[in-house]
């Protein structure tokens, strides 16, 4: 009798489990549209990112990772604000390069600033380029101390993949410095001309990727990364980086939006780092649809 009941119970549970798993809404999300036709082949989807652009994008990554750590150390609501950003890169190699490959962010009201510099290593044919990012001196973001940011970052040889591992210490709510670690992987691709996927658009570079944020060596947050950079055509250039928190306490969006010059010779832009609380990851990004995008 007990054997029959056990068999019947197992059958019912299996049926319920199968029905629940197959029900709408229980499937993992579909692949992003740019990958629906297959992987982005490194040999086909190459870009012509310059050393200046690689350096600038690396520095923007650093600023956003610092913002992520600051957000976790206090809260997204406590981190909300608009913070002026200035960036310049000419792609010069280390040891000269760091002085000309940098980004800074200021906290309004005279409550602090921070600066990061990129040390570009020689490009290795067939492999890519490594870039080291370091914080310059002491710094803070919206009144919270930020110390010792460092990242080991690398682009592949065809300029369409980048990954990074980083660390930074940020003052927590009790005033003590907590150590955070970031891991990023993303890919770059060029837009197409007038909807023709076989015709690459020189002026627009996109990226898509994911990031984890660790505290004391354990994962605490996950972010979704997107960006769009319009190279200047003699009059106007614009770069917008967006990160949305996918796993964490509350919805939180981080944006870097800068304008200026962005070409094969140098990157020189200014704008803002923006931290927004309560913005869901699927919310539209107005900056992606503004001039000249």
- Candidates 129, 150, 83; CA nearest to 110 is 83
What mean pLDDT is predicted for residues 276-284?
Answer: 96
Q: 113-120 and 196-215 as β-strands: parallel, antiparallel, unpaired?
A: unpaired
Higher pLDDT, 168 or 190: 168
Read off the pLDDT band of 171 (50, 70, 90): very high
d(CA 24, CA 98): 52
Tell me what pLDDT residue 195 has.
Answer: 59
Read off the pLDDT band of 188 (50, 70, 90): very high
> What is the distance of C-alpha 8 from the center of its chain?
51
d(CA 224, CA 243): 5
List, in sequence order, every residue forming a beta bridge with 169; answer none if it has no partner: 147, 179
Read off the pLDDT band of 267 (50, 70, 90): very high
Read off the pLDDT band of 26 (50, 70, 90): low
Tell me what pLDDT residue 202 has.
Answer: 84
What mean pLDDT is predicted for residues 21-47?
Answer: 69
Residue 257 has pLDDT above 90, yes or no: yes
List, in sequence order, every residue forming a beta bridge with 188; answer none if it has no partner: 207
Tell me what pLDDT residue 112 has.
Answer: 82
Q: Where are the domains of the chain?
A: 43-289
What mean pLDDT is predicted for residues 46-67?
Answer: 96
pTM: 0.88
Residue 5 has pLDDT above 50, yes or no: no
What mean pLDDT is predicted for residues 121-149?
Answer: 96
What mean pLDDT is predicted for residues 272-282?
Answer: 97
Mean pLDDT computed over every residue of the chain: 88
Tell me what pLDDT residue 198 has.
Answer: 60
- Candidates 74, 58, 241; CA nearest to 165 is 58
């Amino acid at each position: 009798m007990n054997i029959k009941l056990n068999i019947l119970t197992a059958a019912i549970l299996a049926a319920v489990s199968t029905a629940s798993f197959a029900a709408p809404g229980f499937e993992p999300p579909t692949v992003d549209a740019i990958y629906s036709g297959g992987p982005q082949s490194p040999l086909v989807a190459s870009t012509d990112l310059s050393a200046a652009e690689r350096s600038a994008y690396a520095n923007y990554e650093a600023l956003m990772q610092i913002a992520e750590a600051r957000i976790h150390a206090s809260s997204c609501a406590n981190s909300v604000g608009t913070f002026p950003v200035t960036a310049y890169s000419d792609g010069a190699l280390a040891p000269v390069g760091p002085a000309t490959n940098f980004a800074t962010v200021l906290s309004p009201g005279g409550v602090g600033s921070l600066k990061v510099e990129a040390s570009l290593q020689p490009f290795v044919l067939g492999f890519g380029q490594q870039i080291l990012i370091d914080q310059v001196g002491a710094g803070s973001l919206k009144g919270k101390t930020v110390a010792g940011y460092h990242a080991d970052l690398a682009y592949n040889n065809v300029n369409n993949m980048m990954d990074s591992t980083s660390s930074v210490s940020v003052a927590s709510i009790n005033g003590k410095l907590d150590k955070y670690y970031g891991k990023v992987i993303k890919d770059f691709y060029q837009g197409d001309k007038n909807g023709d996927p076989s015709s690459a658009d020189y002026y627009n570079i996109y990226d898509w990727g994911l990031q984890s944020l660790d505290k004391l060596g354990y994962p605490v947050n996950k972010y979704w990364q997107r960006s769009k950079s319009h190279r200047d055509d003699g009059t106007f250039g614009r770069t917008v980086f967006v990160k949305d928190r996918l796993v964490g306490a509350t919805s939180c969006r981080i944006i870097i939006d800068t304008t200026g010059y962005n070409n094969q010779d140098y990157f020189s832009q200014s704008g803002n780092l923006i931290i927004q609380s309560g913005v869901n990851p699927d919310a539209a990004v107005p900056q992606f649809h503004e001039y000249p995008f």
